[in-house]
Amino acid sequence: MTDAIAVLDIGMTNKKVVLYSTELSMIAEKRRIFPPLVREGLEIHDLAAMEEWFLQVLREYSREFAIQALAVSTHGATFVCTDERGNPVAPCIYYTHEPSREFHDRFFALAGDRKELQARTGTPDLSALINSAKGLLFLRERYPEEFASARWILPYPQYWGMRLTGKPSAEGTYIGCHTFLFDWQQESYSSVADALGIRDKLPLPIQQAWDVLGTIAPEVAARTGLSPGTPVTLGIHDSNASILPHLASSGGRDFVLNSTGTWCVLMHPVEKYGFEPDELGKVVFFNRSAWNTPIKTAIFLGGKEYETWIQIIAVLQAKAPKNLLQPTEEDYERVLKERKYFILPEIVPGSGQFPGSAARAVEGSLQCTLSDVEQGKNIPSFLRDPKTAQAVLNISIVLQTEVALHRTGLKKSADILTEGGFRNNTDYNRLLASAFPDNSVYLTDLQEATSFGAAMTALAALKSIDPMEFSRLIHIEKALVPPMLPSAALNAYRDAWRALI
């Protein structure tokens, strides 16, 4: 049998079980989508169905491969309340649920001042339940008896680790990612954990992603056919897993990873933790790397913004987005020169770099809200011209990316590495290169970066070495992106766009 490492890669949409060789080559993958359950109007994760499928796939793989170790990576903003044995005792609510404005105010009345908390915990005030501490308060208020019965409140990767091993744990990349629960100065749980009354339910110590949590429990071994001695690592937050191979192979070169998808997550490894005064109150935060070092991070819903507007443009043409006429360089030059057409953020208010901005399309003095456009009440004429509309949309996404990059502390000569969905948007990348003449913009070819990074942690545990030592196994091809236009071509349009915001 071929030796392999198994990764449970749990995204909000796709749940995957991925196998890697001990040379970190992907050798198998299975994926599935699990629709949410609905309880009293709330979408919740179907933990039982997911677990059943994970164990079934591991059993199928165990017939062909000798699985040597298991690692888990999950999306953020999710904790699970369990009993002593790791059985869920309360619903695991989707972080996309948006409670009332009064709820958010109630949270900060309990937890403390927004900006002071951001300075201490590296966490901005995010919408919905994207701040995990808010999710826990919501759960406490909505299901008080179930919440009170919890012995453990486990970060999502560590919940799955406990299901596999029977052991509770906590890990730094997850606790330290926009949760309000980690104090960067104290290097431990924050005062918010005390305000919520949960400190004694959060596991200690906070460990590293490649530490071994334990070996699989006897019942897991029986159900999967894996060896009872198979080790399971602590688990890792997905964004931190995706940047791990870049950190290990960068050779110390300064870079910002532009990880694009529904969320665009821009991550810049930096030497020192801390915000500039004008950053407090903005959607800028610090991730905690797998090495417990700061990663200055800015996010916005770039993929969601793009998909929302491109669908509108496509519907107006009665075509699929892929069949739309594409803009030329001359279309971009015209749009930038005329400074007449604009698409402004944010689709989800407070989700990105412009918390005071409402999503709308602008044509001269005409301003049309997104809702009016979607309902057909008020549609600017440029949206009916697919070439112009797409040019305006791509420029908007680039300008949002530009602000986010600057807020990560991007310096001249640092590389910008784009991966994910926007990697296939040539115009976006060439415009981004135009906006940053002092930086090199590259497209990377690293596929399934999250599961790859998680596999690195399992291999590190197996070999009892630091993942940095795997640089020889990491081969990331980088394609340099040529600029579309001179940098100065964006200046006047950028000023006009920001003035509207």
Residue type (1 letter), 402 = E
Q: What is the mean pLDDT of the chain?
A: 96
Please, what's the b/e burial string for 388-405 (b: 16 or more CB within 10 A of its CB; e: otherwise)?
bbbbbbbbbbbbbbbbbb
Confidence (pLDDT) at 399: 98
Confidence (pLDDT) at 309: 98
Confidence (pLDDT) at 352: 85
Q: How far apart are CA 310 and CA 78, in angstroms?
A: 30
Confidence (pLDDT) at 213: 98
Confidence (pLDDT) at 438: 97
Q: Spelled out in words, what is the top-level CATH class assigned to the domain 240-301+416-480? A: alpha beta
Asked if residue 445 has pLDDT above 90, the reply is: no
Confidence (pLDDT) at 277: 87
Asked if residue 388 has pLDDT above 80, the reply is: yes
What 3-state class would DSSP assign to 303? helix
Confidence (pLDDT) at 197: 98
Asked if residue 141 has pLDDT above 80, the reply is: yes
- Are 283 and 126 within 8 A, CB to CB? yes
- What pLDDT digit, counting tens, does each position of 172-215 carry? 999 999 999 999 999 999 999 999 999 999 999 999 999 999 99
Confidence (pLDDT) at 349: 80
How distant is the alpha carbon of residue 273 from its chain centre? 20
Of residues 368, 370, 446, 434, the one with CA closest to residue 401: 434
Please state, for a pLDDT cut of 90, what percent of the chain lies above it.
92
- What pLDDT digit, counting tens, does each position of 351-382 carry? 889 988 999 999 999 999 999 999 999 999 99
Structure tokens at 51: 């677990």
Asked if residue 325 has pLDDT above 80, the reply is: yes
Q: Number of H helices and number of E strands within the chain?
A: 17, 25
Residue 243: exposure state from Cβ atoms within 10 A (0-12, 13-18, ≥19): buried
Model confidence, pTM: 0.92
Name beta bridge partners: 318. Answer: none
Can you give 415-450 as a three-state secondary structure string? EEEEEEHHHHCHHHHHHHHHHCCCCCEEEECCCCHH
Q: What is the mean pLDDT of residues 316-342?
A: 97
- Are 50 and 496 within 8 A, CB to CB? no
Q: What is the third-level CATH fold of 2-234?
A: Nucleotidyltransferase; domain 5 (3.30.420)
Confidence (pLDDT) at 320: 96
Please state, for a pLDDT cut of 70, what percent of the chain lies above it.
100
Q: What is the mean pLDDT of residues 322-336?
A: 97
Confidence (pLDDT) at 28: 97
Q: What is the mean pLDDT of residues 473-498?
A: 96
Kindly write down the DSSP assignment for every residue of 223-274, as one continuous string: HH---TT-EEE--EEHHHHHHHHHHHHSTT--EEEEEESSSEEEEEE-SS--
Name the pLDDT band for 471 (thresholds 50, 70, 90): confident
Domain boundaries for CATH 3.30.420.40 within the chain: 2-234, 240-301+416-480
Asked if residue 348 has pLDDT above 90, the reply is: no
- What pLDDT digit, counting tens, does each position of 39-88 carry? 999 999 999 999 999 999 999 999 999 999 999 999 999 999 999 999 99
What 3-state class would DSSP assign to 130? coil
Asked if residue 350 has pLDDT above 80, the reply is: no
Name the pLDDT band for 252 (thresholds 50, 70, 90): confident
Structure tokens at 375: 């309902």
Q: What is the mean pLDDT of residues 141-156?
A: 98
Q: How far apart are CA 390 and CA 402, in angstroms?
A: 18
Task: Put residue 429 in one of left, alpha, beta given phi > 0 → left and psi -120 to 50 → alpha.
Answer: alpha
Confidence (pLDDT) at 259: 92
- What pLDDT digit, counting tens, does each position of 80-135 carry? 999 999 999 999 999 989 999 999 999 999 999 999 999 999 999 998 999 999 99
Helix%, strand%, coil% for the chain, nearest 5 = 40, 25, 35
Asked if residue 285 has pLDDT above 90, the reply is: yes
Task: Put residue 360 in one of left, alpha, beta given phi > 0 → left and psi -120 to 50 → alpha.
Answer: beta
Structure tokens at 476: 């990331």
Q: What is the mean pLDDT of residues 404-420?
A: 95
Report CA-CA distances (Å) from 489 to 86, 122, 341, 468: 57, 36, 15, 41
- Torsions phi, psi for 493 (to 5 deg): -65, -45
Confidence (pLDDT) at 472: 86
Confidence (pLDDT) at 283: 87
Confidence (pLDDT) at 233: 98
Confidence (pLDDT) at 340: 98
